[in-house]
Structures are given as structure tokens and as C-alpha cells.
């Protein structure tokens, strides 16, 4: 089974990238399931119902989130009704939404787990011990499990990859908006990449107009963020998962750019 | 002119990777100058005189550092005598060592500037305004300037790349120990990569035994760090720089592994 | 000369505390000059022209700021025209406003310097070396110098106190909104306190409704901040400064509450 | 019942302060139970068996810890055998030692709970929800409960105080080494102070030689920490607790200095 996982979609340019590149990619790689991180899909910050539906329309079948999950407060109203939308599982019990979900394709159930790192990020529950607990529950349902680990520090991401090696089909990092060059199969058959990257305006600072961010570093003054114009890119990985064992057969990093 | 820049060398396995891969790489790419980040070269933490000399022996011609620069206190004794060794320029005035230096090859002078990021890192002088000041001085000497930006946050690294675009030959990120997949030429001819990666034990967490780091995340207890065994890797970039203008013609990311 | 310095004024309840307590305090302690930290005076975040003028009307003669200085963007428009309003001096060169200023009372010129800490706060210029530079300039004008050090970490605040001991009349900490019990004269005659405290609603979390903040810690969800109701308090220090030498003769911490 | 709680004891000077001041204080205030934070008691970092026993000899009956708990690795060997020594309860399950304990005095059982903050500190379990869970267990045993909340940010400390108001006898902050001037009874009868302060060398930066820390801020270079000489101080609070209800009747902050 071929699963396409797309890195943080940033605003309108990011959604445009999905519109332009998704269908051809599905065809080219024989994709059976498409997952995307949507934490920046609404104007760069969070997700609205309209934006989620636009993404579903383009062919995204499941959406994961990250530290920007609550940036659009309206998500608190609809996230509990969405079967195809999850947020980091290690938010305190009682947070709106859920941390893992399932989707069916080709007669198989695939579990998707969203986790947030803690290093340089929010004070959430331990993603390491939490992962084991949640994965044990998920494995009652299916051995096909994809983990989106939304985290900043490479040490935390690499460590979680090794920690979950053999327990899930893939551990895919998100959040830094820069694709890493370390996609590989770990020893026990888990596909791993430290960061899938970003889908949005290429000539930018993580999606935002570069002049804005440079100026913020130079002046330490607050600035109104504006997404960058120019060429759009899609960053993703394709993972081939053995449907009976849940082990990954391969992982391939993908970058597309349209000038 | 072809310049090879090697990402953070971690301990003995990292030095072994230099020994094994450097000479063949120099030959394969017609390398004229070899620079490496050595902040973890001595047992994973800092640099000693012996280790520096071992690296010079293997063919490294210039060494940059990072936040681990002072981990081996002995460096404070010899760094001022070393023409081929620099540490982040944005340490306060009066810190041992210097933040930029020069080396000659093929009858040309190449300037190398080392900067540290501040986001999630130490409270140093602003690398953005500092860069402009130091680069203006360096450009009196040569238009061929390589910047090692040792930083954590992708936003800070990407922003500095764009900020220095057209002013230097290359902005090369280090520190995260994971190579990124974004090596490219920016608009004004500066070669850029968010992180060059690490030279050291591959099946590890940033060079350290993976069980140690996993355990630290699980228990939040201190642990004695031990470098990992197993296959060794080298991560680097090759930049082709126009010797008359200092503009980069190309940048290519390189990974080598020996099982 | 008796100088009254009032800790972070928080919103309308904080301004009310000024209105209620300031005049009686001036009388009781024979105050010659009144300075206040106003970084939270406008609704808990930043300062507007109207709010500044309200504070002047109540008898505040000079206003310092902190990390919330730019929360009300309108301040960027008027701060350059205000002689009695300063912001941390260690913002990058070119930031609106100025980092130190002077005011005359009883025929004497008093200098006021505002600094921000960096530990757990913004990436600004070094307050230690900056302090020496700015104080050297100020001492050309007057030996009477009051420093508002707006910082989080006690280590940074205490260290700056000792560092400036004998060079200024007082080093007064702000930002944590909790008055510390360590007001004293240091060895060389500088009055010192780690934090002057807050003027605003007493039964709150740093001025904000306690239920809001408790909930934020429990849920890690964003929340709309609302200032607390109930009793109001004023936190301040009175420093008696020798007008000819600039040395402090005494420092006394003050707390007033109105149920 | 009168309970004396002493703030972070720093090294030999701190232990000397206990030796000098404890007995007279016990007499003066009719103290029935003496608790101290000992996280810095061994040379400024952590606690050894010898140092713990020295403190018991001086009359300390119960010891709490903080983020420095593991600085002396030997504690991992003896902490499980110590009935009178606890470390923050919100370390992951499986950490050596325990997070709360009991001691008997005057025929009553007093429970002591140690918690660590997370803001600007370690990634531990949520102290807010954890507190409720642990306190519910402790209240099966006794309504007399003292909480040492070892934390950095005033917001987190004040919020926990309000959160536990009426559920415990006292919430006493430690860690910043500077006593705050906000000791009071909260609405439901819980005694509260943001920070009890430090017992150790007074003319220092949190116990350390002031020149060392000033230099570290100026140079950003590592430095060997050395405890300061000079006058010693003891910082503490006395809480009068109603033995039948567990409510506090009063809290009084105490400072003693010996030149
Ligand atoms: Fe993102
Ligand atoms: Fe994110
Ligand atoms: Fe490194
Ligand atoms: Fe580093
Ligand atoms: Fe404030
Ligand atoms: Fe502040
Ligand atoms: Fe401490
Ligand atoms: Fe501590």
C-alpha cells in the first residue's frame, strides 16, 4: 500500500500546491491514501472548516495538526465532529478533538497518530510513554500505523523514531517546514524522516514573506505576518507499507516546485 | 573553485569518517578547500589540540565551531594561536579566539565566518547585524566568503540565508546534526542549506547511543552520554564558487555511509 | 531626595490603584519624584497615549516599559515625542523611542535607564555591557541614576544589581509582578530590589483572572485574558538618594491594598 | 501546630545557617515540625547521604528537593530508603524516590508533597492535574498537607496556589532563591508564598560568588561555580496550621542574617 504524507500546508499558496500537484502524484506513485499536516492551512495559522473541506475536495483524506491547532478558535467547534482530523494526542485529557483516528482504504484499516514534541514547545504529556500507550490500543485494530511527530528538536524526533521502530509503519516529523535528507527504513521496518517539510511559497521563511521575518530578527519588533508570493512547492513522502505486517518496504522523499 | 564543507564531526567515529571518506571525496569532486565544523570532534563535546591536529592530518584545512566550543576548556589556551580555527563571531568582545579567518588556496583568499543563532540557544550578539558588519570588513579582503551559521531554529537559519544572499558565497547551517534537503542557490548567487548534517555514527541520536537518549526522554533523569557504535557517515556539501565574483555556481549535498 | 518607583501597573485596576494611593503616598513619604513601570497599563498589555496621559494626570512623572512595550502598536507613533517615557535600552539601534531619559526635580537632574533581561526573554543586546556604556553617558549629566531592570530570572537581576553597585542610585527589578523581600542597600551605596511587584488586582494571577490562568495551565488551550476584579493593590519602593553623590541612603518596599 | 519551612539550603554556608539559626527559631516560634528544601545542600548542587544526615542532626525533620535533585548521582542509591526525603512527584513513574511522604508530630500525621514547575524548567508531568490526584490520596491519610512547589515562573506558582486553595494547608514556592513579599492566607485557608527564599551566603548571586556569575553574563563563557563567602542568611516561613481541619491560621516570612 502506498501512502502519501504531505508536510505542513501553509495558507492559500500551500492549498494551491495541493491542487496542482496532488492528483499527478497520486497517479505517478499509485497512492492509496493521502494524509497531510494542516496546522497552517488557514492563512498560515490553524484550520477552519472551509479550509479543511477545500483540502478534502483536492483529495486529502486525513489531516493532522500541531502547535498551531487552536490558532483558529472555530476549530474547537467542529473538531469533535470530524472523523478525518486529529490533533496531538498528548494534549491534556479533555482537550477538544482526538489524538488518533482510523481510515479505510483497499479494505484495510490504517491508524494515524499525531504527537507533539515538548523540547522548545508546549508543556504537554510525555510523547514517548504516551505513544506506547496509544499505539498499544491502536494495534488492537490494525498493524498499519502512521505517526506524525510534530516537534522542533532533532534529538527528540530521532529518539522517538528509534523508540517506535518496529511498532509502527512510519514516524514522520513535521513542524520545522524544512524537509530533511534522512528518509530511511529503521532496523525493525519503520519508515522514518525527521521532517517532511512544507507545502507553500518556496521563496519565503517557512511560508512567510522573507522581508518580514528578516526585519523581525533585526529589530525585535512585532510585525504583521504576510504569506510570501512567488513559486509554490509541495514537500511530501511516499511510504510503501506491507498491508499484512504493517512494516514499511520503502520511504521516498518528494519535492515539487511550480515557478 | 570547489569547496567542501563537512557537518559537525562527532567524536572518534566522526574523525574515522573523515579519515575514510575525505581523500576520495577530494579526488571525486576536485576539491580545492576543505572546511569542517569541529564542535563535537573531541568525544562528542568540544575540541582539543590533539583532535584538531588529527583533523588537519586527514586533510581538513579549516575548522569552525558552535555552542560546544568551550566544552573542552583547554581550547581557551590554544585557540588564540590557531589561524585555521574560528568560533562564533557573536560571542562578546574579549572571548578567546576569533569569529572569522582567512585561508589561501589556488592563489585566492577565502574568508570564513562562524555565527551562532540565538533562538533556543545562547544569549549572544545579534548575528544579523553582526554579519553585515563582519562581512563588510571581510569583503575588503575577498569576495569569497563562506558562513557557517550554527543555529537551531529553521526560521532563523532561512532568514539569515536570504539576508546575506548576494553578500557571501554560501550560508551553511550546522548544529541540528540532520542534513536538510534544501540545498540550493538563492536569488543573488549565495549557496544555501539549512543544515549540512553530521559526520559520526549513523544509527544514533545525533551521534549518541540511542538507548541513552531514549531513556533520558522517558525518565527525565541525567545520563552518561556514550557515542554510538555501528556504521559511520559523513555529511557535507560541495560548493562551486566563481573565484572572481565570489558568487556560487552550484551547491550539492553529499552523504557517505560505511557499514 | 525621595523617589517613589511603582511596579508594573496592570490595566484599569492598576490605574485605579495609582489614583487612590499615589497622592497619600507622596505626602506620607515626602516624595520628590514618581516613576512607574507602565508596560501593562493599557488593558494589561502595553500603553496608549490616553493611558499615559491618565497616569501623568494622577501624578506619575516618568514611565518605564518592558517586554510588553509594543503590545499596543500605537505606541510606535507617539513614543518618539514623549520625553517622560522610555523602553528597554537594549532593543536594537533604530527601535522607536529611547532607552534612557532625564527629569528635573528640586533643581536636580535625575537619569532613568530601562533595561530588559535576556534569560527566558527576548534576544536583545547584552544588558550588562550596555548598562556600563549608557551609564557612562548618563553620568556626564548626573550621578542620580535609577535603573529599571525588567527581567525574569533572579540570577540575572541579582547579578546586574551587584554589577552596577556604586555606579547608580538604584537597580529596581520589574516584570514578575510579585514583590520580593530583598530590598536593601548594596555595598557601594546602590539601592536594590529583585522585583518591585505589581499595581493592579490583588486576587489574580499577575493581574489576570485566576480561573483563566489555572485553566490555561490545566488544558494548555489558548484563552482570552480578562483582568481580575476585587481588591486592588499598589506595590512600590521609596528610595532616599543623596542629591550630591547619587548614593542611596535607604530603600523601603511598600504595599497598599484597598478591599 | 507551627511548621517551619526553610528555603533552598545552599552548600556549607547554608548548612551553617541551619546550625546557627534553627534551634533559636524553634524555640522562638514554638515550632512543631521543621521542613527544608535541600536541593542545593551539597556544595550547591544536589544532596548526599552525609549532607542529609548533617541536616537531620541540626534538627531538620523532612527534606524536599527540586530540579537539582539528581546533581549528586549517589542520591539514586539512597533516596528509596529515606522516609524523610522526597523529590518532585511529577517526575515520570519509575524515577527513584517518591514525590510525597508523611511525618508524625504531636500525635498528628502531616503530609508533604513536592512538585516541580514546567515553565522554563524540565518537561515533567503536569503539576496541576497531578497535584489533585496526589492530594486526593494524601487526604485519605490527613488534612494537614504542605506543598513545596519548586518553580521558576511567578504565573505558574501563583496559579497553583489559587488552584490548591482550600485543598492543602500551604503552597510554598521554592527555586528562585529570593524570598517574595507576598506571604498570605488565600481565600479558603491555604497559606501561600511565591518563594520562601534561600539559606546560604547573602552577598552572592543565589549562593554563588557574585564575580563568577557577573563574568558569565558578560562573557557567556562557562565558569567554575564557587559558593560565596561572607554573611550567611536563613530564609523561611512559619505556618500555623489548625490540626483538626488542616487550614492555615497564619503564615509569617522570616529572614535571619549573621554578619
Ligand atoms: Fe507548521
Ligand atoms: Fe508547528
Ligand atoms: Fe554539533
Ligand atoms: Fe551545536
Ligand atoms: Fe509586567
Ligand atoms: Fe514584563
Ligand atoms: Fe535551589
Ligand atoms: Fe531549583
Alpha carbon distance B49, D28 (integer Å): 61
B230 C-beta neighbours (distance < 10 Å), count: 14
The subunits that touch chain C, with at least 3 C-beta pairs less than 8 Å apart, are: A, B, D
Q: Which three cell numbers stand for residue B182?
A: 534544501
Q: Do B123 and D220 touch (CB under 8 A)?
A: yes
ipTM computed for the complex: 0.97
- What pLDDT was estimated at residue B242? 98
User: Are A119 and D118 a contacting pair at CB < 8 A?
Assistant: no
Element (H, E) at B257: strand B248-258
Radius of gyration of chain C (CA): 17
Q: What is the pLDDT of residue C8?
A: 98
Confidence band of D70 (pLDDT split at 50, 70, 90): very high
Does residue B259 have a pLDDT over 90?
A: no
Q: How far C190 CA lies from chain D's nearest CA (Å)?
A: 14
Taking any CB pair shorter than 8 Å as contact, residues of chain A touching chain C are: 70, 73, 76, 91-92, 94-96, 122-124, 218-222
Segment C110-126 shows an average pLDDT of: 98
Label residue A237 by pLDDT band (50, 70, 90).
Answer: very high
- State the nearest Cα–Cα gap between C46 and chain B, in angstroms: 24
For chain D, which residues lie within 8 Å of any Cβ of chain C, measuring from their own Cβ? 120, 126, 128-129, 152-156, 158-160, 162-163, 176-182, 187, 194-195, 197, 203, 205-206, 210, 213-214, 217-218, 253, 255
Query: Rounded to whole angstroms, how far apart are CA atoms C158 and C148?
Result: 13
In sequence order, what are the beta bridge partners of A6?
Answer: A36, A236
Provide the domain limits for residue B202.
2-258
- Per-residue pLDDT tens digits for C185-217: 999 999 999 999 999 999 999 999 999 999 999
Cell digits of residue B105: 588556496
Calculate what percentage of chain D has a pLDDT beyond 70.
Answer: 100
**How far apart are the CA of B155 and the nearest CA of chain C, in angstroms?**
14
Active site residues of C: 68
Annotated binding site of B for Fe cation: 8, 39-40, 67, 150, 175, 177
Average pLDDT, chain A: 98
Q: Please tell me the number of the ligand nearest to residue B67's CA.
A: 4
Q: Model confidence at D259, in pLDDT bands (50, 70, 90)? A: confident
| Percent of chain C clearing pLDDT 90 (strictly above) | 98
Q: H or E stretch including C54?
A: helix C49-58
Mean pLDDT over D55-69 rounds to: 98
In D61-209, alpha helices (H)? 75-78, 127-139, 154-164
**Which residue of chain C is at minimal alpha-carbon distance from D132?**
C218
Q: Whose CA is closest to A124, among B211, D161, D128, B212?
A: D128
Nearest to C158 among D195, D206, D218 (CB): D206
Is there a contact between A92 and C222 if contact means CB atoms under 8 Å apart? no
Looking up residue A16, the CATH number of its domain turns out to be: 3.60.21.10
What would the pLDDT profile of D141-194 be if each residue is shown by its tens digit? 999 999 999 999 999 999 999 999 999 999 999 999 999 999 999 999 999 999
Residue C126: its chain B contacts at CB < 8 A? 92, 123, 125
Q: What value, to the nearest 5°, has the Cα angle with vertex D174 and ends D169 and D177? A: 145
Q: What is the D254 CA–ligand 1 centroid distance (Å)?
A: 49
User: In the prediction, which pLDDT does A259 show?
Assistant: 86
Shortest CA gap D63–chain C (Å):
23
Q: Give residue ranges of C with CB < 8 Å to any D CB.
A: 120, 126, 128-129, 152-156, 158-160, 162-163, 176-182, 187, 194-195, 197, 203, 205-206, 210, 213-214, 217-218, 253, 255
Strands D232-241 and A2-6: unpaired
How many residues are listed for chain B in this entry?
259
Please determine, for residue B240, whether its predicted confidence score (pLDDT) is greater than 90: yes
Count of domains for chain A? 1
Q: Among residues C81, C19, C8, which one has the least CA distance to residue C42?
A: C8
| Secondary structure of chain A as H, E, C letters | CEEEEECCECHHHHHHHHHHHHHHHHHHHCCCEEEEECCCCCCCCCCCHHHHHHHHHHCCCEEECCCCCCCCCCHHHHHHHCCCECCCCCCCCCCCCCCEEEEEECCEEEEEEEEECCCCCCCCCCHHHHHHHHHHHHHCCCCCEEEEEECCCHHHHHHHHHHHECCECEEEEECCCCCECCCEECCCCCEEECCCCCEEECCCECCECHHHHHHHHHHCCCCCCCECCCCEEEEEEEEEECCCCCCEEEEEEEEEEEC
Binding residues of B: 8, 39-40, 67, 150, 175, 177
Nearest CB among B70, B124, B220 relative to D222 is that of B70
Distance C93 CA to ligand 6 centre (A): 21
- Region of A51 (left: φ > 0; alpha: ψ -120 to 50; beta: rest) is alpha
User: pLDDT per residue over A149-159, tens digit each?
Assistant: 999 999 999 99
Q: What is the pLDDT of residues C27-46, one digit of tens each?
A: 999 999 999 999 999 999 99
Report CA-CA distances (Å) from A126 to A122, A129, A170, B157, B225: 11, 6, 19, 28, 21
Residue C259 pLDDT greater than 90, yes or no: no
Contact A187 B206 (CB under 8 A): no
pLDDT for B160-189, tens place per residue? 999 999 999 999 999 999 999 999 999 999
Amino acid at each position: 500500500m502506498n501512502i502519501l504524507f504531505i508536510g505542513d500546508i501553509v495558507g492559500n499558496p500551500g492549498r494551491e500546491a495541493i491542487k496542482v500537484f496532488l492528483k499527478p502524484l497520486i497517479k505517478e506513485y499509485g497512492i492509496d491514501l493521502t494524509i497531510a499536516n494542516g496546522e497552517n492551512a488557514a492563512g498560515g495559522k490553524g484550520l477552519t472548516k472551509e479550509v479543511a473541506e477545500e483540502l478534502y475536495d483536492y483529495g486529502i483524506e486525513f489531516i493532522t495538526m500541531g502547535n498551531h491547532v487552536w490558532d483558529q478558535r472555530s476549530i474547537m467547534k467542529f473538531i469533535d465532529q470530524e472523523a478525518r482530523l486529529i490533533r496531538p494526542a498528548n494534549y491534556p485529557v479533555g482537550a477538544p478533538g482526538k489524538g488518533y483516528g482510523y481510515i479505510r482504504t483497499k479494505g484495510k484499516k490504517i491508524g494515524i497518530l499525531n504527537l507533539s514534541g515538548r523540547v522548545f514547545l508546549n508543556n504537554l504529556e510525555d510523547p514517548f510513554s504516551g505513544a506506547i500507550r496509544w499505539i498499544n490500543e491502536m494495534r488492537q485494530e490494525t498493524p498499519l500505523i502512521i505517526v506524525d511527530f510534530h516537534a522542533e528538536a532533532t534529538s527528540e524526533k530521532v529518539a522517538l523514531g528509534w523508540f517506535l521502530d518496529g511498532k509502527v509503519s512510519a514516524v514522520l516529523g513535521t513542524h520545522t517546514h524544512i524537509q530533511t535528507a534522512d528518509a530511511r527504513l529503521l532496523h525493525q521496518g519503520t519508515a522514518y524522516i525527521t521532517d517532511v517539510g512544507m507545502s507553500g511559497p518556496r521563496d519565503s521563511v517557512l511560508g512567510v514573506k522573507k522581508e518580514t521575518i528578516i526585519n523581525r530578527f533585526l529589530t525585535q519588533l512585532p510585525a504583521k505576518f504576510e504569506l510570501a508570493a512567488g513559486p509554490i512547492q509541495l514537500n511530501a513522502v511516499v511510504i510503501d507499507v506491507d498491508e499484512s505486517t504493517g512494516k514499511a518496504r520503502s520511504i521516498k522523499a518528494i519535492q515539487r516546485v511550480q515557478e
